[in-house]
Amino acid sequence: MNTLGLTLHHLGLACRDEIAATAFLSALGYDVGESVYEAAHKVQVCYCRHQSMPDVEVLTQGEEESPIQAYLQQHAALVYHICYECDGIELTLAKMTKADINHILISDSAPSLTLNRKHVAFVFVNGIGLIELITPEEL
């Protein structure tokens, strides 16, 4: 039973070379979207969709210091977060607390340009790592 009410939305891939990453994903049959700058998170984002595989969000370092910078100093590419759709960010955080799931809110809810302005927040979950929560609709 899914007591948190979360549904897999996409994988977040931080990489140094967006062209190489999207070429590979394209060869797998992904539709590669336009690359856009996400000012809220200071990263360049290219969203890639597939009919039967999980969507992949390809993130590269923007011009400013960003949260993925530390990952990219150690790795050329790394799936560093899993995104889940939720009924509401605050509701999901409350469910995690109730279930004694140790977590820390890393970034407050902010609209995403690449995800139709749905609100997203990043949470570090003990034993899992970084997850992104996304609301099902614009708030």
Which residue from 56, 49, 57, 9 is spatially nearest to 30, judged by alpha carbons? 49
Q: What tokens appear for 93 in the block?
A: 């955080």
Q: How does pLDDT run across 8-64, given as a tens digit for each residue? A: 999 999 999 999 999 999 999 999 999 999 887 889 999 999 999 999 999 999 888
* pLDDT band at residue 134 using 50, 70 and 90 as cut-offs: very high
pLDDT at 138 over 60: no
pLDDT of residue 46: 96
Alpha-carbon gap, residue 61 to 13, rounded angstroms: 12
Alpha-carbon gap, residue 73 to 89, rounded angstroms: 30
Q: How does pLDDT run across 66-120, given as a tens digit for each residue? A: 889 999 999 999 999 999 999 999 999 999 999 999 999 998 876 666 666 678 8
Domain assignments of the chain as residue spans, ordered by start: 7-134
pLDDT of residue 35: 95
More confident residue, 137 or 86: 86
pLDDT at 137 over 70: no
Topology, domain 7-134: 2,3-Dihydroxybiphenyl 1,2-Dioxygenase; domain 1 (3.10.180)
pLDDT of residue 2: 92
